[in-house]
Amino acid sequence: DKKEAKELSQFFDGQIVIVSSVNQDEKKISSTRIRQAIKEGRVADATKLLGYPLSTRGIVVHGNARGRTIGYPTANLAPLDRV
């Protein structure tokens, strides 16, 4: 909003550029919307909103070895980021 930008210019000496929102499905793409998709387990939606695959980092830690019971290797991660 131009009014808010003008008010901000009273406290900030730098150049202010108003950037139009980017929308998907008629809704603004925002970090809040991306975090909500991740929180709800909608990783494919988060990937679409980000424009690239979601990634996270962590340290592999010992788990309950449940992957062995289903014949599928698994890894337990202690997250290094807030995801």
Count of alpha carbons within 13 angstroms of residue 38, beta-carbon side: 15
Q: Identify the residue with better confidence: 35 or 4.
A: 35
Q: Would you state the pLDDT for residue 82?
A: 66
Identify the bridge partners of residue 58 per DSSP, sorted by sequence position: 79
Buried b (16+ CB within 10 A) or exposed e, 14-52: eeeeeeeeeeeeeeebeeeebeebbeeeeeebbbebeee
Q: Six-digit token pair at 51?
A: 């424009």
What predicted TM-score, i.e. pTM, was given to this entire model? 0.58
pLDDT tens digits, residue range 8-59?
A: 778 878 887 878 889 988 899 999 999 999 999 999 999 999 999 988 888 8
Q: Would you state the pLDDT for residue 47?
A: 95
